[in-house]
Structure 1
Amino acid sequence: MNQAAGDIIQLISSAPSLGHQPGMESIVAPYGQLPRVIRGRASLLDELTDAVLRPHPHPRVHVLHGIGGSGKTTVALEVARRAQTSMPVWWVSAAGADTLSSGMRQLALALGADIEQIQLAWSGQASASDLVWSLLDARTDHWLLVVDNADDSQLLAPAHGRVAGGTGWIRHPRSARGTLLVTRRSRDPRLWGTWAELRLVDQLSPEDGAQVLLDLVGATAGSESDAQALATDLQGLPLALRLAGAYLRESVTQPPWPGTSPVRSFAAYQRTLRSRFTLLDTTPPGQYEDRTQQELITRTWELSLDLLHAQGKDQPRPLLRLLAHLADAPIPFVLLLDPAILSDSPEVGPITFEQLHRALTSLADLALIDMTTRPDPNPDNPLAYTLSLHALVRATNREHPQVVARRPEYLDVLGASMHKVTDALDPDEPAAWPAWQFLAPHASSLLELLATSVDIDRETARELSRAAQGSADYFGALGMYERAETEYRAVLDVQRLVIGEDHPDTLSTRHNLAYTLRDRGMLEAAETEYRDVLAVRRRVLGEEHAKTLVTRNQLARVYREQGRYEEAEEEFRNVLAAQRLTLGEQNLDTLITRSNLASMYFVSRKLDEAEAEYRDILATERRALGEDHLESLVTHGNLARVLAEQGRFDQAEAEYRDVLSAETRVLGDEHPDTLTTRHNLAATLAAQGRQAQARKEFQAVLEARERLLGPDHPNTRQTGTALALLAAPPDEPV
């Protein structure tokens, strides 16, 4: 790992506030996004607040619909703010599959679901939506749940069902004390059935729109009548009004350079907008289509970018277009926007860190992006700094004709950026998980864009595929096997199209997919996938190539888990013989296969043979790799497990304590391997009847695993179950 990568890991590792509950979305309403004054929504806000605060039998589901940029989220936020002192309020974003799933999982935790329930639901073995709604319906107090940006109906409905059926994420609360508030663009009464009330969040009147402009700019930009005229042309769209107000607030500070004509007033902005947007003159008020609204927003932010150009700032425009290719999720711009990579791009051109910061600040000043600094004890943590785009600003930029024409170039820049960052982050390493939490949605979004592009660059495809594969590995490390499988299959679709079925990267992804299928308990599917990969690797690489032998080793592990012990042992022996011949006795792959073969002795209850083999492997690993190498420590732990299984608990405890001491020194006291050893030590203490000590150890491991791995990780669930099964501790000193 290079120094830069090490620095990234060091900074992220020192940020515990971002490392808790990896992959979880906050379910606290983002009240900081509220404007100082909300104009033109008094009646709607009062009606919704009354519906939330007072128990009404019907309806308990309110759908706020309206065109993009109409202020639906602002209305929902204000209702949530008013309700928060009287009841629990939860906020879940449905902008994408990841954010919706993570938010609902966090909600289940907040509602009191135990670790085993969550693991079953989010591994696909039970219904996650049933779990959440059973907990909501069981509450006896008032509560409010907001599901924001619920535009994708397929995410809301159950598999092979409809939203109106009320069995997906959106349901009618059984209690008159619960309220569900949903924001989305489309009205579509057929989607909701009869149990939801649809409420239009319409454009603002000219009078209210003028007040929004005056709130932002003040009277220096012109009269109230001028503001009303501009608000009319902006169709009372709050997002457009915000962009125009931010523009005028910025333009008043622009010097009157020779050859420039600063737009400083409502009237001047209106004239300029009309010269760019002829549809304003030809479409009757109230009859604008979505395309017209999007074009209006495009013209508005283009005027803002023109202002920056007039100020000599040319880099914000390509930066905004670049950012529009990322997902509807917080963007960790300190990690992703590397001036060295941007400078090599013809889209952005030479740029320094200082220039990059100024360009982003300029975009934020004009309300084109929102920059957020998250609370963190370490101000040097790059993940504390994120930015976001309004969904409509993202969409209009992403689909701008000039951007579509240059999409391969933008994807090339982002591919290089993603590759540089993710290549330094081991998805299996908890220290890297906070970064993956932010990066995974963008890796998926970029891969999806790449898959729909006409002109796909081979190197860009490889870089983005590897980043997306890393995110799949991350989901697998968290125990989110179903999500990992989905990501692997998306990566495979691109790899097969661009680099071919037989490419090493494609085979690596298929190999990891098979690993995930095995973890999901889908052993037949895993076997099929491993056999297919093995056939290609035998043909392309040869029978005794190292990767071919690794696949054979993993296939034998599937046999073992299927209970086909004779086949597994025979294959482990065959692989081991080939590895000894081609790789040598002290090669890491050879030693791993020896450990797998030793495990066959263990499951076959040949404990003496298992002990002898593990001792011999451990001696070889210590000579070849060193006492503190990870594989040496794993084998040492396996030896301790055999001793415990033989009933030699005193010896097992001593070995576990030796392993624990080494792992704490080498890996740290909260590394997953360290926690595994501590869990096994606790089990050994329990087997000796020292239950108070065992309970103390299990509790410490459980707290650490919940914090580092998340409460729904299989290892966390294992420790929670072990703790629950312990009898009440006798009165013994701890």
Structure 2
Amino acid sequence: MLPAALPKARIYTYDWNANYFENAPVQTLLGHADTLLGLIAEGRGSQTRPIIFVASCFGGLILAEAIIRAAQEGSAYKHILLSTVGIVFLATPFQGSDAAKQARWQVLVKGIMGEQASDKLIQDLEQKHDFVHQRVQKFAEIANAKAVQLPLSCFFETRKTEMLRRILSPRWAKRLPWSVTRKILVTESSACLHGFPRQGLDATHSGINKFQGPECPNFKLVKDAGHWIVPFGRNKEFVGRESILTDLFKRVLPSGDEDDCQRTAIEGLGGVGKTQIALETAYRIRDVQPECSVFWVPAVDATAFENAYRAIGQQLKVPGIDEEKADVKALIKSVLGRESMGNWLLIIDNADDEKLLFGDTALADYLPFSRKGSILFTTRNHKLGLRLVESENHIITVKEMSTDEALKLLGKNLKSSQMSDTRSNNALLEFLTNLPLAIRQASAYIAKEQISTAQYLKLCKSSDEDMVKLLSSHFDDRHRYKNIENAIATTWLISFQQISDHDALAADYLRFLCFLAGKDIPHSLLPSAGTLETVEAIGTLKAYAFISQQNESDSYDIHRLVQISMLSWLDGKEERQEWTAKVLERLNDIFPWPKHENREEWIRYLPHTQHALQLRKRTDDEEATIGLLSKVGESFFNLGKYKEAEQIHRQALQLREKVLGKEHPKTLSSMNNLANAYLIARGNEGAEQMHRQALQLSQKVLGKEHPHTLSSMNNLAGVLDSQGKHEEAEQMHRQALQLREKVSEIR
């Protein structure tokens, strides 16, 4: 059937007699590797025709050893390795057999050969199992090496083999039920190499390389096995996202649209799990359609993009791909554009930089087109994603995990004792906003330090500084890029920098927003700018999912962890003091003096002003800080929150005494505000002392007839009256009235 499928190919078979190993060790088995290489070299002559290997059972071990020897420095067979364009392994026992734990090789060899089995080979395989395992690992390293990138697929049997009856005595065999004697001889875990495509065949072990005809489903699966370049193994810790995966799977299948090359984008905040969703999608497509080639290209920079394209060319053996002046990107675009390439999925990961894709380097110009192809992008930038796929219908937005998904992810690597506190588990996930990367980071830290989720949550809430350290802590993850820090804060720094480079106003708005409360931020609080510029800047922040806007409202929400990371970024650039001053100045300008008439306005501004004041460190503009403290204190007073009002007014008084001195009129005003709040919050006694002090200073600084002095007299009189000192209170009220009348007559 192969000559019909590959009419221009020269096809050879290499058979070895199992009986030859009756008294032969493992080394003799692997020694066939040299014989195989020699015969191939002899048959090829000086030609450099591409080679495809199909190896079954022990033949796969011989082939793996042959590849190892061809890859050795100075090997005369190096050209065979470089000419290899495909390998198919059919039930090769890379890890022995799982059929019997105590005698994995005995069961395997006798299950295959029966009475012909070599006892010497069985004993040697048992003794040298670790050696065989090491050779398999060496082969996998070579196959994965960038200079080689061998395209290979592993197939495994799914039907059970009757084997134990062949090696047991007839007396014992009759006593055993069929369910015990029938086993999978070479299981999936033994027959498949980590990180390479795998596929089950509906066959027993002995039938794994036997097909009924060209229409046999098993033959089609083997014949059509596609290419596979994915830099990560399957993420066994992946949980949830089933609705997204189901939708995505339907969209990205190359066969989904016979008239076009499909384009789909996964968008979302950095750390929300876009890459992991794309990775799981790639493996699910491989499982269902192994004939579909899958290629993975990181778009973090121009070099990474071109290197990935070069790796595709090397695996496809594209002529000229390794030449010094080769236009690698153009070559791959051309090759993947051919219908003869069959079905393929191209994953462009981290497509976040508009300048990289559409600027000088114009990487988007090198995206291939084929009606048998499909391109999947992952991006943090909605604007860029829309430009790449050209329709909102082709964009899938990924949000934070559900609580159930987040709990499963958090507990993947933790002991039950570390997650015994259900309330702390839920509180921690709420604090981390169910963000997958933050959860993985937390789980790694909890596991490493052997603490509980409750202890980790306490660390998170201890201070912003500790929270930043936790968000910035690196952890190892085999399913993420090695040259990129696997920390949520570091992940966002990339986006911060991209925004700063491309949209200065958006960057300023992000700096401003990180000082405010995270929810319901009125648009009117933002610094003024042109209408068009403002719309585009807000659009940029929404495109990166750093802020969100509910329907047509005039307010925004910003991710809490983004705020913390952004403040850390400002600290690192020594810009926090400057932006603290800018934010406080803006808030002081726009926050009105609280009255009943403007109640709706100042109530909306209050939580954001309060949050900004709590975050302030040293700032050169103390006047703006004092003004805001006074307004916030008065707001609390109007709301009946007298203790809070007293605390805020006390801060305003202390700051005014420091900046303006105790006898400045504005200091006296703050003293009166504090005394009024103190009166209601704590009682008359302390308030009387404060009002007397305020009155004395006011008389000294402003004079007895000044309006502020007269107000102080009335305030003190009110306190005295409430204490039952009615005569003194009456006398002070009369004095204040007389002075007011005198001032009025003069005017």
Q: What range is the shorter-chain TM-score in?
A: 0.3 to 0.5
The structure with more helix, counted as a fraction of residues? 1
Task: State the TM-score, normalizing by the size of structure 1.
Answer: 0.39
Of the two, which has the highest radius of gyration? 2
**Higher RCO (CA-CA < 8 Å; seq separation 6+):** 1
